[in-house]
Every structure is written in C-alpha cells, then in structure tokens.
C-alpha cells in the first residue's frame, strides 16, 4: 500500500496585544499595520506562552504583561506549502511613551472594524453600506429557507429587526461579512465579491484573530477586573469609564457606572487630585490591593452598564 503524502504543518504564535491610549483602544501591529506580531514556535521555548513572549519582545521591543490563550486557527490560504496552525494569545498592557521602531505600530482597532464602535450611537457605515450589502446577499439566497436563515443571522449579529446589538459578537459579524463577500480577505480566498465595506484588511487570517481577541476582552471586562492591566497606577473615574467604553464600543451612563464601581469596591481614593487640567481637579483612584491579589478569582466583577 502506498503511503498517502502529508502536507507539512507548522505552528505560529500570534499576539493580540491591546492597550488603551487617550480613550482609543489600540492594538500592536507589524508590517505597517497589516499584521499582528507573529512568529514560529521553537522547541527551545519551555512553553507556548514563553515562546510568544520571546518572539513578541524580539520583534517589537515591547514586553508583555497579562497574557491568556485565545484559540488555534488553521490557515490554509497562504502561499507557503505548509499548513499553518496559528496559536493566538491576548495580551494587555499600557502603551509605552516611546513609539515602536520600524514597521511596528499601534493602531486603533476600530480602523479594522469601524462598525464595532457604538460609543456615539450606531455607526453611519451600517446604514450607508453594510446593511444594504447584507440585504442584497440575503435576497440572493437560492430558496426561502436559506433566505430566512440569512435574514435571521443578519438581524441577530447586527442588531436589527427587533434584535439588540450585542457587542460580544465581533467574530460572528466579521465571519458574516466574509461569507457575504464584503471584505478583502474574502476576495483573497476566492469568494465572489458583492462590494467592500470600510475597514482595513490584514494579512492571512489576522483580522479574524483580532476579532476573536476583541470579543474575548469585551466579554471578560463584564465579570473580571482585567481592565486594571490597561490603566496607569493612579487614574480618575472618568479615565476608567472611558477605558471600558473604548473596549466595549458602548457609551456608559456616568452615574450608573460609578455606582457599579462603588458597589463592587474595586477602587479606593489615593488622597491626591489631578493637576494641570483645564477643568476642576478630579480625585485620583487606584485599584484596591486586595483586588489586585484576587484578580484571578471568579466572581470579582466589573459590570458593563447599558446605554448612555
């Protein structure tokens, strides 16, 4: 019996490294904003996470803080002969004052997903571009059952026809746009294009990986105080609220947000005030030391309020 030839397979580590700077959620990129930091896993590393840290630090001159694994993606659409397994990680950090070197840069993650930013209400791109294209895709269905299925998926994922917008469905929305032939990555896969919606494309499957990281973080900030990884040691409550809003892509009711923070007893006053600002000085806070020690304990919550 002849042996069946097998295609080479290698593992790649990919980092979704997130920071929030001046109210903007930022992701570290390479190749002038076209890719996420990535590199091959080498057996010299004692673990996948150690390999990721070493590669990201060598490629970007930036150290990683909080890290958790996302998912493993099989990307067969590359030019290389080998199949690539992309093992993705989410990392949270504070953006350093010094800009990255070379082709490495911090990018606003809404430049890749402009339809995900609802802080000022529904983005105009939904009504002007995305929803009309998706409706055309729905109408092209070959039978009534498929049409109803597509219509339901659009409604659930994009919050129309009586459905509420769910900020956690980032990946599902991306994959729906991909399937409908509305993003550049779909054209590279050979799918028929029905148009192209705004939003920068990325190399390989990196925008899908970024969508996964965004969804994970949007879900996690509702029940774990991971947001402190993105904050300076001292901050105002407004800065904290703006950071949560930036990640969630939703505006929060100021008083409700502060009430929720107080109920969870996540922060404490430092006794200091802001200085040098144009408005009234604001109290400075820090996360409570016992919260920092217990941040891995399930049940510690940072709830996300609804509406503005």
- Say how many domains are in the chain: 3
Statement to judge: residues 169 and 243 lie in one domain: no
CATH number for the domain harbouring residue 256: 1.10.10.10
User: Tens digit of pLDDT for each residue in 6-33?
Assistant: 566 777 888 899 999 988 999 999 988 9
Residue 266 lies in a domain: yes
User: Tens digit of pLDDT for each residue in 197-242?
Assistant: 999 999 989 999 999 999 999 999 888 888 888 999 999 999 999 9
Containing structural domain, residue 260: 221-293
Statement to judge: residues 159 and 128 lie in one domain: yes
Residue 112, pLDDT > 50, answer yes
Torsion 149-150-153-156 (CA) sign: negative
Residue 135 lies in a domain: yes
Of residues 66 and 153, more confidence is placed in 153
User: Tens digit of pLDDT for each residue in 132-151?
Assistant: 999 999 999 999 999 999 99
pLDDT at 229: 87
Taking CA atoms, 260 is separated from 246, 286, 291, 305, in Å, by 18, 16, 15, 8
User: Which pTM does this prediction carry?
Assistant: 0.87
CATH number for the domain harbouring residue 101: 3.90.79.10
Statement to judge: residues 183 and 269 lie in one domain: no
Q: Quick one: angle between helices 170-179 and 206-220, nearest 10?
A: 150
Statement to judge: residues 228 and 285 lie in one domain: yes
Statement to judge: residues 131 and 194 lie in one domain: yes
Both tokens of residue 20? 């929030």
pLDDT at 296: 47
Region 86-93 average pLDDT: 88
Number of H helices, E strands in the chain: 10, 8
Q: In the listed set 89, 111, 133, which residue is the last one of a domain according to the structure?
A: 111
């Amino acid at each position: 019996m002849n042996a069946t030839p097998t295609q080479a397979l290698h593992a790649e580590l990919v980092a979704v490294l997130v920071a929030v700077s001046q109210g903007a959620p930022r992701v570290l990129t390479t190749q002038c904003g076209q890719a996420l930091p990535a590199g091959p896993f080498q057996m010299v590393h004692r673990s996948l996470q150690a390999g990721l840290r070493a590669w990201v630090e060598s490629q970007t001159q930036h150290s990683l803080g909080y890290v958790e694994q996302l998912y493993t993606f099989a990307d067969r659409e590359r030019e290389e002969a080998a199949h690539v397994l992309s093992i993705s990680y989410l990392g949270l950090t504070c953006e350093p004052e010094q800009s990255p070197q070379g082709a490495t840069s911090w990018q606003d993650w809404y430049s890749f997903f402009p339809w995900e930013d609802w802080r000022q209400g529904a983005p105009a791109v939904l009504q002007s571009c995305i929803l009309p294209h998706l409706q055309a895709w729905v109408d092209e269905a070959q039978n009534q059952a498929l049409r109803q299925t597509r219509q339901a998926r659009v409604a659930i994922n994009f919050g129309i026809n009586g459905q509420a917008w769910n900020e956690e469905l980032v990946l599902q929305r991306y994959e729906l746009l991909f399937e409908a032939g509305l993003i550049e990555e779909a054209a590279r896969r050979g799918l028929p294009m029905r148009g192209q919606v705004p939003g920068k494309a990325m190399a390989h499957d990196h925008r899908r990986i970024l969508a996964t990281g965004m969804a994970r973080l949007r879900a996690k900030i509702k029940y774990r105080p991971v947001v402190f990884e993105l904050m300076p040691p001292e901050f105002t409550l407004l800065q904290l609220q703006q950071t949560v809003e930036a990640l969630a892509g939703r505006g929060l009711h100021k008083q409700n947000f502060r009430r929720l923070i107080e109920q969870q007893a996540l922060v404490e006053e430092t006794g200091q005030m802001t200085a040098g600002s144009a408005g009234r000085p604001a109290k400075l806070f820090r996360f409570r030391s016992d919260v920092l020690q217990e941040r891995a304990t399930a049940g510690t919550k940072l709830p996300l309020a609804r509406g503005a």
